[in-house]
A and B are shown apart, each in its own frame.
Chain A
Amino acid sequence: GAVVSQHPSRVICKSGTSVKIECRSLDFQATTMFWYRQFPKKSLMLMATSNEGSKATYEQGVEKDKFLINHASLTLSTLTVTSAHPEDSSFYICSARDSRGVEKLFFGSGTQLSVL
């Protein structure tokens, strides 16, 4: 089945640094990818929709200058958490939809970000 690779799986950083998370669709093209955030024991909340070749669409309340999204190719989207602070510590998960229109979404394995 389709595979979405997400790296890194875990990152610990100091407050004020920037962290980049990659999301790759390995065996299909994805013109659209989605970035979710999950707090402990909470459900996933959509942060933004990543569109290949164009600007990302952010959900209400998500700071676009803090969470930079780049979708430069049909198989790669990146999320950069800029000037990270402890409140940005969370589990981030990407998902991708096959461009051929398959209904299912495929999710990455997630990235646990801990900001000290």
Chain B
Amino acid sequence: KQEVTQIPAALSVPEGENLVLNCSFTDSAIYNLQWFRQDPGKGLTSLLLIQSSQREQTSGRLNASLDKSSGRSTLYIAASQPGDSATYLCAVPTAGGTSYGKLTFGQGTILTVHP
């Protein structure tokens, strides 16, 4: 059974810092990995999707890396801003390593960036 763990559970930093959020998964036979952002009481916004054949993806100040063999992914946030404050979730396909859409989520990292 796939399990996804995120560290740290919470992170509070001053504005401008560079951050690293960690995600690990137990079954390395994944098709892809996604990072999401969730604002309080809201749905999810997809930030980055990394295919299993890729090592990283970048979007603006965000960079996500994937080391499939070791079952790890990191989300790097450069020059953090108060608007980055949210819960960050990573997720992988649940069964059989497919991209069908059933996802197993980590418990999230609650990020607070203060001015």
A4 to B36, alpha carbons, bound, how many Å?
A: 15
Is B105 in contact with A104, judged by CB distance below 8 angstroms? no
Minimum CB–CB distance for A43 against chain B, Å: 4
Determine which of A46, A49, A104 lies in contact with B34 in the assembled complex, contact meaning CB atoms within 8 Å.
Answer: A104
Cα(A91)–Cα(B42), bound, Å: 9
The dominant DSSP class at the B interface is strand
Q: How far is the CA of A103 from the CA of B36 in the complex (A)?
A: 14
Query: Which residues on the B side are within 8 Å of A90 (C-beta)?
Result: none
* In the complex, B101 has a CB within 8 A of chain A: yes
Given contacts A43-B89, A43-B106, contact A106 B101 (CB under 8 A): no
B interface bracket (residues with beta carbon within 8 Å of A): 20 to 34
B32, B44, B46, B100, most chain A CB atoms within 10 A: B44
The contact string, 1 if C-beta is below 8 Å from chain B, for chain A 69-93, is 0000000000000000000000101
State whether A105 touches B46 (Cβ < 8 A). Answer: yes
Cα distance A97–B98 in the bound complex, in angstroms = 13
Q: Contact: B94 with A46, CB < 8 Å?
A: yes
In the bound complex, CA of A44 to CA of B45 (Å): 14
Beyond A43-B89, A46-B94, A103-B99, is A112–B105 a contact (Cβ under 8 Å)?
Answer: no
- Given A46-B102, A95-B101, A112-B41, the answer on whether A104 and B108 have CB atoms closer than 8 Å is no
Q: Which residue of B lies closest to A96 (CB)?
A: B101
Cross-chain contact B43 with A93 (CB below 8 angstroms): yes
Q: Judging by beta carbons under 8 Å apart, are A34 and B42 in contact?
A: no
Proximity string of chain B (25-65) to chain A, C-beta cutoff 8 Å, 1 when within and 0 when not: 00000001010100001111110010100000000000000
Cβ A107 vs Cβ B105 within 8 A: no
Q: How many Å lie between the Cα of A108 and that of B91 in the bound state?
A: 16
The 5 closest A-B pairs by CB, nearest first: A107-B44, A109-B43, A43-B105, A43-B107, A107-B43
Q: Which residues of A contact B (CB under 8 A)?
A: 4, 6, 32, 34, 42-46, 49, 91, 93, 95, 97, 103-110, 112
